[in-house]
Amino acid sequence: MKAILLSLLALAAVVAGPAAAAPLAAYGELPTIEQVAVSPSGRLLALEVVKDDKRTIVVQDLVARKIVSGVNAGTAKLRGMEWAGDDHLILISSFTGGALDLLVDTREWFIAADFNVAAKKLTPLLGDVDLSLNAISDTPVIRIIDGRPYAFVQGGYFGAHVEEAAGGMRMRYGQLALFKIDLDDDRSTLVAADELNATGYLVDADGQPLAESVYDAISKHWTLKVWRDRQWRAAQAQDAAIETPYLVGLGRDGRSILVHGLDANREGLREVSPDGGVVGDPLPGPSTGGAIYDPVTHRLLGMEDLQGDERVYRFYDAGDDLQWRSIAASFPGQRVELESTSADRRRLVLHLDSPTDGPGYVLVDLNSKSSQWLGADYPQLTAPDISEVEPVRFPAADGLGLTGYLTLPRGRDPNNLPLVVFPHGGPAARDEPGFDWWAQAMASRGYAVLQVNYRGSWGFGWDFLKAGFGEWGGKMQTDLSDGVRFLASKGTIDPKRVCIVGASYGGYAALAGATLDPGVYRCAVDVSGPAELAKLVAWGKARAGDDGVAGQRYWLRYMGAENLAEPHLQAISPADLADKVTIPILIIHGKDDTVVPFAQSQIMADALAKAGKPYQLVVLNHEDHWLSSGDTRRQMLDATMDFLAKYNPPS
What is the model's pLDDT at position 290? Answer: 86
- pLDDT at 138 exceeding the cut of 70: yes
Answer yes or no: is 443 within a domain.
yes
State the Cα–Cα distance between residues 310 and 379, nearest whole angstrom: 25
Closest to 431 in 3D by CA, of 336, 306, 291, 596: 306
Q: Is 215 helix (H, G, I), strand (E, B) or coil?
A: strand
- Residue range 243-269: mean pLDDT, rounded: 89
- Model confidence at 633, pLDDT cuts 50, 70, 90, reads very high
- Residue range 218-227: mean pLDDT, rounded: 95
- pLDDT at 419 exceeding the cut of 50: yes
- Residue range 174-196: mean pLDDT, rounded: 91
Contact 285, 459 (CB under 8 A): no
pLDDT digits (tens, 9 = 90+) for 328-354: 999 999 999 999 999 999 999 999 999
Express as a percent the part of the chain with pLDDT over 90. Answer: 81
- pLDDT at 10 exceeding the cut of 80: no
- Mutual orientation of helices 598-611 and 533-544 as an angle, nearest 10°? 160
What is the model's pLDDT at position 305? Answer: 85
Contact 514, 521 (CB under 8 A): yes
- Residue range 462-475: mean pLDDT, rounded: 95
What is the model's pLDDT at position 287? Answer: 63
- Assign residue 622 the CATH number of its domain: 3.40.50.1820
pLDDT digits (tens, 9 = 90+) for 62-77: 999 999 999 999 999 9
What is the model's pLDDT at position 283? Answer: 87
Express as a percent the part of the chain with pLDDT over 70. Answer: 92
State the Cα–Cα distance between residues 497 and 420, nearest whole angstrom: 9
- Residue range 180-206: mean pLDDT, rounded: 94
- Model confidence at 161, pLDDT cuts 50, 70, 90, reads very low
Answer yes or no: is 581 within a domain.
yes
What is the model's pLDDT at position 472? Answer: 96
What is the model's pLDDT at position 51? Answer: 95
What is the model's pLDDT at position 476? Answer: 98
Phi-psi region of 217 (alpha: psi -120 to 50; beta: other; left: phi over 0): alpha
Q: Is 605 helix (H, G, I), strand (E, B) or coil?
A: helix
State the Cα–Cα distance between residues 120 and 115, nearest whole angstrom: 7
- pLDDT at 166 exceeding the cut of 80: no
Answer yes or no: is 210 within a domain.
no
Closest to 381 in 3D by CA, of 402, 360, 361: 360
- Residue range 33-39: mean pLDDT, rounded: 97
State the Cα–Cα distance between residues 217 and 227, nearest whole angstrom: 23
Q: Is 370 helix (H, G, I), strand (E, B) or coil?
A: strand
What is the model's pLDDT at position 306? Answer: 80
Answer yes or no: is 36 within a domain.
no
- Model confidence at 172, pLDDT cuts 50, 70, 90, reads very low
Closest to 86 in 3D by CA, of 139, 133, 39, 137: 39
- pLDDT at 163 exceeding the cut of 50: no
* Strands (E) located in 330-480: 335-341, 347-354, 358-365, 370-376, 388-395, 401-408, 417-421, 448-453
500 alpha-carbon distance from chain centroid = 22
- Residue range 360-366: mean pLDDT, rounded: 98
What Å distances lie between residue 296 and 59, 343, 345, 522, CA to CA? 22, 6, 10, 56
Answer yes or no: is 169 within a domain.
no
Element at 115 (helix H, strand E): strand 108-116
Which residues sit opposite 590 in a β-bridge?
A: 620
Answer yes or no: is 474 within a domain.
yes
pLDDT digits (tens, 9 = 90+) for 435-466: 999 999 999 999 999 999 999 999 898 899 99
What is the model's pLDDT at position 159? Answer: 56
Q: Which domain holds residue 455?
A: 389-532+573-647
How many domains are contained in the chain? Answer: 1
Answer yes or no: is 157 within a domain.
no
- Residue range 349-376: mean pLDDT, rounded: 96
What Å distances lie between residue 10 and 4, 213, 361, CA to CA? 10, 47, 11
Which residues sit opposite 404 in a β-bridge?
A: 392, 452
State the Cα–Cα distance between residues 524 and 645, nearest whole angstrom: 12
Averaged pLDDT of the chain = 91
- pLDDT at 646 exceeding the cut of 50: yes
pLDDT digits (tens, 9 = 90+) for 281-302: 888 776 666 899 999 999 999 9
